[in-house]
């Protein structure tokens, strides 16, 4: 049962505190996670090599709003832009992902990369992806309270005559959840 429901049902502070304390006890100490994380010195050096290779030859500077060389009078005023993913379109995307064996996450990351490429008129773009950081093989990690997120780079590089399927396969091959 969620905390929200308990609050809506009028749970006492003491009841909520007891529940949180119980969940904390069932988790591991955050310090255990930090010891695990920072105890991976050899792996960190290997990870650095992997990231350097992954980002080698990246020379573009992509911006969400490429206004650096535009006269003030020519700049468009920021507007709210929203799109609703209809149930119908969601089902089509899910069906496509399932048929081609791509995750929805990979599909949307690739689409976001294509949008950034289009907006910046470039064919190679890198953006940050936040991952959970809870991959540690520590008992109780899923119940641990604490910031364990990490942001990793996602590179979307399109070459001439590449199809969307080719690009998605390339992204899947290069998908690094966390090193």
Confidence at residue 77, expressed as pLDDT on a 0 to 100 scale:
64
Per-residue pLDDT tens for 60-81? 776 666 555 566 665 666 667 6
Q: What is the pLDDT of residues 17-28, one digit of tens each?
A: 887 777 777 777
> Tens digits of per-residue pLDDT, 102-148?
999 999 999 999 988 988 889 999 998 988 776 777 777 777 777 77
- What is the CB neighbour count within 10 angstroms for residue 110? 20
Find all residues with CB under 8 Å of 142, minimum gap 6, and list them. 27, 134
Can you tell me the distance from the alpha carbon of 73 to that of 92, in angstroms, rounded to the nearest whole number?
A: 42
Whole-angstrom distance, CA of residue 79 vs CA of residue 22? 46
């Amino acid at each position: 049962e969620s905390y929200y429901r308990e609050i809506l049902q009028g749970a006492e502070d003491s009841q909520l505190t007891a529940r949180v304390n119980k969940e904390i006890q069932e988790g591991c100490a955050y310090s255990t996670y930090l010891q695990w994380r920072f105890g991976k010195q050899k792996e960190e050096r290997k990870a650095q090599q992997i990231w350097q290779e992954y980002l080698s030859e990246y020379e573009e500077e992509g911006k969400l709003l490429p206004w650096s060389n535009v006269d003030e009078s020519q700049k468009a005023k920021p507007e709210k832009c929203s799109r609703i993913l209809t149930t119908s379109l969601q089902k089509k995307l899910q069906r496509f992902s399932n048929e081609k064996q791509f995750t929805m996450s990979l599909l949307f990351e690739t689409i976001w990369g294509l949008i950034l490429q289009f907006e910046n008129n470039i064919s190679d773009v890198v953006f940050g992806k936040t991952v959970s950081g809870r991959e540690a093989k520590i008992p109780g990690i899923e119940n641990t309270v604490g910031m364990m997120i990490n942001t990793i780079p996602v590179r979307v590089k399109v070459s001439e005559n590449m199809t969307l399927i080719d690009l998605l396969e390339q992204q899947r091959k290069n998908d690094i959840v966390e090193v």
